[in-house]
Structure 1
Amino acid sequence: MTGMPYLSLAIWVPIVGGLVVLATGSDRNAPLARVIALVTAIAGLLVAIPLYQGFDTTTSSMQFVELAPWIPYFNINYYLGVDGISMLFVLLNSFITVIVVIAGWEVIQQRVSQYMAAFLIMSGLMNGIFSALDGILFYVFFEASLIPMYLIIGIWGGPNRVYAAIKFFLYTLLGSLLMLVALIYLFLESGGSFNILDWHKLPLAMGVQVAVFVAFLLSFAVKVPMWPVHTWLPDAHVEAPTGGSVVLAAIALKLGAYGFLRFSLPIAPDASQAMAPLIITLSLIAVVYIGFVALVQTDMKKLVAYSSIAHMGFVTLGFFIFNPLGIEGALVQMISHGFISGAMFLCIGVLYDRVHSRNIADYGGVVNTMPKFAAFFMLFAMANAGLPGTSGFIGEFMVVLGSVQYNFWVAFAAATTLITGAAYTLWMYKRVVFGDVANDHVAELEDIGAREFAFLAVLAICVLAMGLYPKPVTDVLHTSVNELLRHVAVSKL
């Protein structure tokens, strides 16, 4: 271990802070719980920022490495490190945690300490997933992160929260069991090492690679979620509280996609290429078909949930066309989607807190009573539709360009999202925001306050900054993506 253990701090500051928040107990101490939660979330972001400041973009090697024995008998280590692919997600997760704590400041009135603690602990666990370089350490963080989200949906969710929470938990847990089998096999095959970087060098036979790839696929596909194992996501989003939906969309969906780049492609490169047509087909179904499914939704949250599945289809498409534009575009899309989907769910949450309805038909003419909110909502809706100048355009455009290099018709099918995405997003926005005041509920609405303005403004700045100048993000990715492609033995285009 050299220098400051920034990765350990990014993991354990939120977790320890979450336990302190939990210790504040009953809702009589809710103000104290909120303050400690906010201080902890900001501290978690501050200890993650040096990862970007000190990052060397010229090397693909793991940086900020920490290594200590954990369970020596099985050669399991506390082994952390980040490269250009994973470092940005630690930052994104830490940033979103601050937003979620602020967003839930006044909205959550019951079990406040437990609510805040669940998000902080989950934030630390997710940073562990993005940082772990030991297979078992990764698996522990991967599975443990299910528990806070399960509780968030099951306790603070909507009327069908128990059903949604159990469905979420079972889908993701069952998918992960095959991953555990693959991890144990790789441990035995590598002569007793759980080091993920050692696994990248294993000369596995093609049949073994296919089996390992399928095991990882079934785990990560559920997390993304890819079609057809996506059905848990709309239920989870609809029932989850606003903060739960934000973290689910902005961070949790990225865990499966990240797994493809850390495990599937480097450990089973030949199988990845052989299975690429299948993954590309499933991705295109998600992009095209799910886009049309979103078009017929009457619930705002469900519409944005389906749009997330379509956008994540772009991500898996970009990974498996095996060129730098595709993979970098997919990673940019993941970061961008974290900002945009989080903002969309927060906007829906702002309306829900006032009217207690997510149905599009219950709104209309919101711009007349909430002009500031309508302006923010329009920016995020345009970004969700992929408007040039917003972060939503950059990643999709890069993936489409990469797809053209791979196959014109694949690119053509993927580009239909620019039409369907605009259709379902603008259709929702028009019916909710424009027109005359639809009913008394809308007439009585109050515009966003200082707290809501603050978190929406910060996300708006992120969406515009990344859309207008994505270089700080792409520079970090470039070397690691090229090294991954070199490892998978695909010529760079």
Structure 2
Amino acid sequence: MLELIFILPLIGSFFLLITPRDNIVRLWKIGLEWSLLTLTITILLWASLDGEGQFQAIKKFDWIFSIEPTFGPLNFAVDGVSFFFIVLTALLTPICVLISWNSIKFLVKEFILCLLLMEVLLMGVFTILDLVGFYILFEGILIPMFLIIGIWGSREEKIQASYYFFFYTFIGSVFMLLAIFILYSHAGTTDYQTLCSLKYERKLQYFLFLGFFFSLAIKIPKIPFHIWLPQAHVEAPVAGSVILAGVLLKLGGYGFMRFSWPLLPDASEYFAPLIQTLSLFAIIYGSLTTCRQVDLKRIIAYSSVAHMGLVTLGLFSHTIQGLVAAVFLMLAHGLVSSALFIAVTYLYERHHTRLVKYYRGVVVTMPLFGILMLTLILANASIPLSCNFVGEFFSLLAAFEYSFIVGGLASLGMVLSAGYSIYLYNRVCFGVPSKYLYFTRDLNRREFYALMPLVLLIFLMGIFPFPVVDVIKSSIIYQERC
């Protein structure tokens, strides 16, 4: 089944290519059908795994560098860490098709092709066990996202935002490529499992860690490398914001999880105080900056900076619960932030503004939207029974175990998160309806069905977290033993 999660989106792309450009409804149906089929196969693959923690469903693939004996074939596999990101990618792709059905007015075929291509590349990033292949796929994702922001963006600054996104992440990735070259020169291979079995000198680990750090910190993004994120979110179409917040930001955390501890344990421990300090800055500065934003998308974008600070805080806390919390919180953030971007886009499609000052009393004319928005706002503030609460609770638990001061400062993030979340909902949904709002139709069926799976999963993972936590924990323990 592992091959099918790559093959099915490619088959859907082929049908898109042979479908006439003017048959718009058929193009959207093809994108939706093949992305849903990919999601179905992904769920079946989940059912076939044994949950023991080791790499499973291993597949070998010969590529151009296989003529060199030291490279060999590419290995693809899944474990408890990577598989949930695959499920998240497969889930968000059909949702992106649904929410873009009426908002994308031109070059529809090319837009759906970009979504399916990005799905294939993301599946590859989360399953590949070779550093060179990881870098190629990691960089390949920039191309469809660059096109989505630059072509289908919503405002005049979309070109600038797309270049911000591309050059920030591309320049940072050059350092990771240099680190991969150094690893290859010392080990003679780029196979991940072989590299994990080798030991490296402490000073060499420091240089390698810095190479991976600059690339992955920009992707998360971590302060002070976060400048590109709000601009990209504001200018991107709703599907671009959902994929960017839901999956692409997780590539940085996944890279730290996959490469820092298994390959470079001494360097990870050495640089942990620095990264913990940057994480605290991200949590506090990101939360305070969120409080002063006036654009709905910028509010969610800066809150993402704060939440991803909690992720790295857990990753570099030197504890099992911190690592589990980081992965779980990334999955939770992928659901909550994606749903929030969809919700504010529903407002934008009706009133053509994202400035908070023009909204007031929305719940009077859009009660269904008001209920769903309140649910998502509370989940973003980490209310109990939501998945964010589970991730942030374990992350703060790991932070207090690492240092009481670090845990206390990180706790301010939850207080500030509740503050700006409730304040935002109060300004938008309560009060006398604004005189600027003329179009008052509530959510239709397509909009409701696109949002409900995310809302249900947010609370399902919050009420029953252990099926996910146990699989993640077993994979982390298996990696440490190896």
Q: TM-score surpassing 0.5?
A: yes
C-alpha separation between the residues in 1 aligned to 2:15 and 2:35?
A: 12
Alpha-carbon separation, structure 2, partners of 1:56 and 1:138: 25
1:426 equivalent in alignment to 2:416: no
| Residues 252-291 of structure 1: per-residue CA shift (max 9 Å, x gap) | 0001110011112211110000000011111111011111
Contact 2:217–2:252, Cα closer than 8 Å, also in 1: yes
2:202 and 2:14 mapped to 1: Cα distance? Answer: 46
List runs of 5+ in structure 1 lacking aligned partners.
Answer: 1-5, 488-493
- Whether the 8 Å CA contact 1:15–1:122 is kept in 2: the answer is no
Please, what TM-score do these two structures have when normalized by structure 2? 0.97
Count residues with an aligned counterpart: 478
Residue 233 of structure 2 corresponds to residue 220 of structure 1: no
Residue 92 of structure 1 aligns with which residue?
88
Deviation at 1:343, TM superposition (A): 0.2
Deviation string, structure 1 residues 394-442 (Cα, Å, up to 9, x no partner): 100011111121111111111111111011111111111111101142x
Matches within 5 A, 1:95-244: 95-157=91-153, 158-191=155-188, 193-244=189-240
1:470 aligned onto 2:468: no
The answer to whether the 8 A contact 2:54-2:478 is kept is no
Mapped to 1, the partners of 2:282 and 2:3 lie a distance apart of 36
The RMSD of aligned alpha carbons is 1.2
User: Any conservation in 2 of the 1:17–1:40 contact (CA below 8 Å)?
Assistant: yes
Structure 2 residue 91 is matched with structure 1 residue 61: no
Aligned partners of 2:98 and 2:85: how far apart in 1?
Answer: 20
Identity %: 38
What is aligned with 1:491? Answer: none
CA contact (8 A) 1:15 1:123 kept: no
Given the alignment of the two structures, is residue 52 of structure 1 paired with residue 46 of structure 2, yes or no? yes
Question: Is residue 133–residue 196 contact of structure 1 (8 Å, CA) maintained in 2?
Answer: yes
Question: For residues 194 and 20 of structure 2, what CA distance do their matches in structure 1 show?
Answer: 45
- Displacement of 1:486 after TM fit? 4.5
Query: Aligned partners of 2:281 and 2:181: how far apart in 1?
Result: 33
The 2-side partners of 1:15 and 1:221 are apart by 31
TM superposition shift of 1:113: 1.1
Extract unaligned runs of 5+ from structure 2. none
1:447-471 deviation per Cα after TM superposition (whole angstroms, max 9, x unaligned) = 0000111111111111110111111
Matched, 1:337 2:333: yes
In the aligned structure 2, how far is the partner of 1:10 from the partner of 1:468?
29
Partner of 2:59: helix, strand, or coil?
strand
TM score, norm. by length of structure 1: 0.95
Aligned mates of 2:230, 2:251 — CA distance in 1: 17
> Are 2:267 and 1:290 aligned?
no
Tell me which residue corresponds to 1:309.
305
What do the CA deviations read for 1:331-371 (whole angstroms, capped 9, x no partner)? 11011111100000000110011111110011110001100
1:19, distance to aligned residue in structure 2 (A): 4.3
- Report the 3-state secondary structure (helix = DSSP H, G, I; strand = E; otherwise coil) of the residue aligned with 1:44: helix
How far 1:22 sits from its partner (Å)? 4.1
1:367 aligned onto 2:368 = no
How many Å apart are 1:112 and its aligned residue? 1.1
Aligned to 1:67, the other structure's residue is in SS state strand
Of 401, 404, 419, 1:408 maps to: 404
Per-residue deviation, 1:485: 4.1
Query: Which secondary structure does the structure 2 equivalent of 1:416 belong to?
Result: helix
1:68 deviates by 2.7
Report the equivalent of 1:7. 2
Alpha-carbon separation, structure 1, partners of 2:417 and 2:81: 27
What secondary structure sits across from 1:64 in the alignment?
A: strand
Residues 1:216 and 1:291: Cα distance change in structure 2 (over 3 Å) = same
Q: 1:100 to 1:183 in 2, by over 3 A?
A: same
Paired amino acid for 2:132: I
Cα separation, 2, equivalents of 1:215 and 1:321:
21
Residue among 307, 324, 344 paired with 1:328: 324
Matched, 1:43 2:37: yes
